Each structure stands twice: as structure tokens, then as C-alpha cells.
Amino acid sequence: KKRNPYEEEFHQAVEEVATSVMPWYLDHEKYRRAQILERLTEPDRIVTFRVSWQTDSGEIRANRAWRVQFSHCLGPYKGGLRFHPSVTQSVLKFLGFEQIFKNSLTGLPMGGAKGGSNFNPKGKSDNEVMRFCHSMMTELHRHIGEDVDVPAGDIGVGSREIGYLFGQYMRLENRWTGVLTGKGCAFGGSAVRKEATGYGSVYFLEDVLKQHGEEIEGKAIVISGSGNVARYAAEKAVAKGAKVLTLSDSDGFIEVRDGLTVEQLEFIHELKEQWRGRISAVADEFGGVVYHDGAKPWGVSCDVAMPCATQNELDVSDAESLIGNGVIAVCEGANMPVTADAAHLLRDRGILHAPGKASNAGGVAVSGLEQSQNATRISWSREEVDRRLREIMKSIHARCVAFGEGKGGKVNYVDGANISGFEKVAEAMLAYGVV
Ligand code: NDP
């Protein structure tokens, strides 16, 4: 904490991993002697730069951007770019650190990184977003490459932003290469990439429930967010026969007493992707949908909670409400959405808790598959990618079970994901010597 002052999110992420791995780490002298944990908490490098751009009315703006290249022990750096006013170096360090273990869990050759900017895309025109992305890539292109570092999307960075970033990379480098993932399917993107994080988290939830003698069909699920992850988690949950009761955005949440329908979800996809509208519009459009302004959805009674918006969005009082209402599992679609205290409470009360680094790894897994398709100039069918995604999520679940012995016959997914993800990186670091 002294070495990284004011980096609260980063401290939180490191503490969570360290708490899980410490007993196991102390048991393995070879890792301890090589100072693996200590070395892993220091990123390989952080690039910080200014992004200057012009508004439609001709005013000049300057934002700050970063790329945190954390570890490339297992493969080229890989991790998303986030555009949100709350982005700081601490947030990107926490995300980059988590990404190392998440990518390790997928079994694919990918290192850990994250990047982004405090640029707020909300309320900006397409042209303003384009000018920002072009300006950002003008610096970023020096630090990335298909065998070096392959960014993707995250909060505020979807297919529109990836298109603008990729266009500028090609212009600067004069070559087509799979340097970004999450591209449109017309220009090298993979089938199922945009759905992958949400679908993958529901596949993981399905395995968690099955492992504990439950099934997803008929379960009442409360989901936060209405972005890429939340909407496709909802879509897959509905397809599996679950009842999705809520979705939200930063203004409030909608409650659908009978469960979201396919028709409502189609409306929400269009609302968010094309009109960039607010979730409250769903209540104006459909009967039986109630909008709660300025509130979070965790007070709604459910079997499963899926936080899919942002970090630390579910705190102790939210966890108490969920437990009081009989929740059996919390499956993270977002990264670190549960505060440290709330996570302890869930564990102490025996609630199944799937951490994002395991349950939301489907997105980066399909990004890895996009890299493979780009490298071989082949495009796999939707069925083929979905089949591989399902298998990867199954194998991540199996690794969590193998490493996450919990109390009362329940799997401790937080420990399982942390130790399993850590072990592979530690082995690679030992093999490389002191680097
Ligand atoms: P999007 O930008 O598509 O959507 C984010 C959603 O979360 C929006 O509904 C947004 O509401 C809401 N949100 C964002 N910040 C806040 C906040 N501070 N308070 C309340 N609500 C907020 O992002 P994604 O769906 O891609 O990402 C969501 C989470 O999933 C993030 O934690 C991300 O790191 C993680 N993730 C994403 C992956 C991906 O493939 N996209 C892969 C793995 C993890 P509003 O529109 O009002 O801002």
C-alpha cells in the first residue's frame, strides 16, 4: 500500500487474490523463494499518455489514457479498453491484475493487461467518438501488435469504438492484422464475441448450480447493468428457462414481475446499441415493467444475483438484502462487483459466489478464439465458437472445483479461481528464471 498509495481498487484486488493463495503459497517453497506473488503485483509497464481531440463545435479537449501491461508470461498481453470518467490508474491496475488470472483460467495463451481513458463517451456524437478513438490509437499503436498486446472492449468501448480504433491502426501501420478483438464480423470479428461474456457467465452459473444439485430452469435472477454483458446474460438465462426480473443502468433499474420476454430484450438491445437510450424507456414501452429511479436492484427477491455493471456495485447492505430474500448464488458478470466485506458475508453465510475472473472469462476466451481465427485467416461458424465457449466454461468450472474446497460440501469458487489461475502463471515464471 505504501508503494502504491491511493490505489484502493488495486489494493482490493491484490488482497483478494493474496488471501486465497497465501496458505497454498506458503506451502510451496519454490514459489515463495522466487517471490512470485511480490513480482506479480508489479506491472511489466504502464504507458500513460494524453489524448487531444476536437469537439463538433471546434473546441479542443484533452483526456488521459493508459495501457497497463501487467504480465505476458502466458502469451501476448490481452485485456480490454475502458472509456468512463471514473477510470484511473488504480482501476486499470486492478483490472489488469485480475486479467492475468482470468486469462490463465481460460487455458488459452494470453497474458494480462488493461487500458482505457477517463473520456466519457456519453452524450458525444459519433464523430466526436471517432476523433477521440483515432487520436488515442495514434499513440497506442506504438505499444500494441498481434504478438505483443491485443486490446478489446470493456465499459464504454463496444463495436463502434473498436471499429474506429482498428481503422486508425490500419492507416498507421498499413497492414491488416488481428491487433484488436471484438471487431465487427464484417472485418475479422468472431461469431459470438459480443454475446460471449454474458452467455459464458450463464453457462458458468449452470455448472455451479448443477454441481450443487440445482438447475437454472425456473430460477428467478436479478441482473444489474444493461450493457454488453448484462443483456446477453439475460438473453441466455431466458433461453435456459430462467426468469430475469431486473436490468439497470447508472440511473436506476427496471423490474419485470413476470420475467423479461424475448420481445422486451430485443427492444433493449436496440435501445442500448442504436439509440443509446436509458433503461427507464422500457417501462414507458411495456406494461408490467416498473422503473425504480436512482435505486439498485438487489432488494428484489431472487434465487440468483448477477451483478453485470461495474466494480463494487454490491455492498454489505445489498448482500444482506439478498441473503434475507433467500438468494442461493451470486454469479459475477462484471469485474469485482462485490465489495470485499460483502464477499466475506456471502462466504460466511454459505452463499455460492462465482468471481468474475472465472464466470466472466467467456469474453476474453472468445477474444482468444478471434485471435486464432485471424492468425489462420479462417472464420468459424457460430455453432463452432459457441461449442468451444461452452467447453472452456466447463473446464474453468472444473478447475475451480479442483482447487476450491469449501465448507459443507460447497465449492469455494473465489479460492478455486485464484489458486488455479495463479498456479499456471507461477509455473511459467519459475521456468523463465528471474525476469
Ligand atoms: P457496457 O459499457 O456495455 O455496459 C456497462 C453497464 O453498466 C451499463 O448499463 C452502465 O450504465 C452500467 N454502469 C457502468 N458504470 C456504472 C456505474 N459506475 N454505476 C452504475 N452502473 C454503471 O460494459 P460491459 O457490459 O462491457 O461491462 C460490464 C462489466 O463487465 C464491467 O465490469 C466489465 O469490466 C466486465 N466485463 C466485460 C467484458 C466484455 O466482454 N465486455 C468481459 C469481461 C468483463 P450507463 O449506461 O448508465 O453508464
Dihedrals phi, psi of 134, to nearest 5 degrees = -60, -45
Distance between Cα 360 and ligand 1 center (Å): 12
Give CA separation, 190 vs 70, 203, 364, 365, 386, in Å.
25, 19, 12, 11, 11
Element containing residue 11 per DSSP (H, E): helix 8-27
240 is in an annotated binding site: no
Mean of all residue pLDDT scores within the chain? 97
Ligand 1 atom at minimal distance to the Cα of residue 367: 40
Q: 343, 361, 379 — which closes off a domain?
A: 361
What is the number of domains present in the chain?
2
Residues 112 and 88 in one domain: yes
281 and 213 in a common domain: yes
* Residue 153 in contact with ligand 1 by CB distance below 6 A: yes
CATH number at residue 165: 3.40.50.10860
pLDDT of res. 1: 87
According to the annotation, is 243 in a ligand binding site?
no
Q: Is the ipTM of this complex over 0.90?
A: yes
84 CA: nearest ligand 1 atom: 15
* pLDDT tens-digit readout, 283-299: 999 999 999 999 999 99
Identify the residue whose C-alpha is closest to ligand 1 atom 22: 250
In this structure, is residue 408 part of a structural domain? no
Burial of 156 (0-12, 13-18, 19+ CB in 10 A): buried
Supply the range of the domain harboring residue 97: 43-186
Q: Say if residue 407's pLDDT is above 90.
A: no
- CA–CA distance, 115 with 83 (Å, rounded to integer): 9
**Euclidean distance between CA atoms 256 and 266, whole angstroms:** 15
In ligand 1, the atom with minimum distance to the C-alpha of 152 is 40
Q: Flag whether 426 is in a domain.
A: no
Collect all residues with Cβ–Cβ distance below 8 Å to 395 and sequence separation of at least 6: 107
Boundary (domain end) residue, out of 153, 186, 219: 186
Ligand 1 centroid, distance to 154 Cα (angstroms)? 7
Is 121 a residue whose pLDDT tops 90?
Answer: yes
| Cα-to-centroid distance, 79 and ligand 1 (Å) | 15
Q: What angle do CA 415, 418, 423 make, to 5 degrees?
A: 120
In a domain, 26, yes or no: no
* Residue 409 belongs to a domain: no
- Cα separations in angstroms, 179 against 44, 101, 152, 345: 20, 21, 9, 41
Same domain, 90 and 67: yes
pLDDT (tens digit per residue) in 330-357: 999 999 999 999 999 999 999 999 999 9
State the average pLDDT over residues 297-319: 98
CATH number of domain containing 207? 3.40.50.720
End residue of a domain, out of 361, 393, 416: 361
Mean pLDDT over residues 362-385, rounded?
A: 98
- Whether residue 215 sits in one domain with residue 354: yes
Within a domain: 413: no
22 in any annotated domain:
no
Residues 181 and 226 in one domain: no
Q: Determine whether the annotation assigns residue 197 to a binding site.
A: yes
Per-residue buried b or exposed e for 374-402, using 16+ beta carbons within 10 Å of the residue's own CB? beeeeebeeeebbebbbebbeebbebbbe
Q: What percent of the chain has pLDDT over 70?
A: 100
Cα 232 to averaged position of ligand 1 atoms, centre (Å) = 12
SS3 245: strand
178 and 48 share one domain:
yes
Of 193, 310, 364, the one to substitute when testing ligand 1's pocket (max ligand atoms within 8 A of C-beta) is 310
> For residue 243, which phi and psi values (nearest 5 degrees)?
-105, 115
Closest CA to 78 of 132, 144, 140, 136: 144
Q: Is 367 annotated as a binding residue?
A: yes
Residue 264 in this model has a pLDDT that exceeds 90: yes
**Ligand 1 atom at shortest distance from the alpha carbon of 335:** 32
Roughly what angle, to the nearest 10 degrees, separates helices 193-211 and 228-239? 50
Question: Of all protein residues, whose CA lies closest to atom 38 belonging to ligand 1?
Answer: 154
Best mutation site among 83, 181, 229 for ligand 1 pocket (most ligand atoms within 8 Å of CB): 229
pLDDT band at 118 (very low <50, low <70, confident <90, very high): very high
Expressed in angstroms and rounded, the spacing between residue 334 Cα and the centre of ligand 1 is 7
pLDDT of residue 2: 86
pLDDT beyond 90 at 249:
yes
88 lines ligand 1 (CB under 6 A): no
204 and 72 co-located in one domain = no
What is the pTM for the complete model shown?
0.98
Reply yes or no on whether the pLDDT at 167 is more than 90.
yes
169 and 94 housed in the same domain: yes
Residues 166 and 278 in one domain: no
Q: Supply the DSSP string of 109-160, one letter for each residue.
A: S--EEEEEES---TT--HHHHHHHHHHHHHHHGGG-BTTTEEEE-BTTB-HH
- Binning pLDDT at 50, 70 and 90, where does residue 19 land? very high
**198 and 328 housed in the same domain:** yes
Q: Where are the alpha helices (DSSP H) in 150-299?
A: 159-173, 193-211, 228-239, 262-273, 281-285
Which of 78, 100, 155, 248 to mutate to test ligand 1, by most ligand atoms within 8 A of the CB atom?
155
Catalytic residue, candidates 114, 124, 296, 424: 114
> With a 6 A CB cut-off, is 135 part of the ligand 1 pocket?
no
CB 172 within 8 A of CB 186: no
> Is residue 116 one of the residues assigned to a domain?
yes
Q: Is the pLDDT of residue 406 over 90?
A: no
109 and 48 part of one domain: yes
Q: What angle do CA 99, 105, 109 make, to 5 degrees?
A: 80
Do 219 and 312 share a domain, yes or no?
Answer: yes
Tell me, rounded to whole angstroms, the distance of Cα 26 from its chain centroid.
Answer: 30
| Distance in Å, CA 307 to ligand 1 centroid | 10
Would you say residue 393 has pLDDT above 90? yes
Read off the pLDDT band of 17 (50, 70, 90).
very high
With 90 as the cut, is the pLDDT of residue 126 above it? yes
To the query of whether residue 210 is one of the catalytic residues in this protein, the response is no
Q: Is residue 429 part of a domain?
A: no
**Is 153 known to sit in a ligand binding site?**
yes
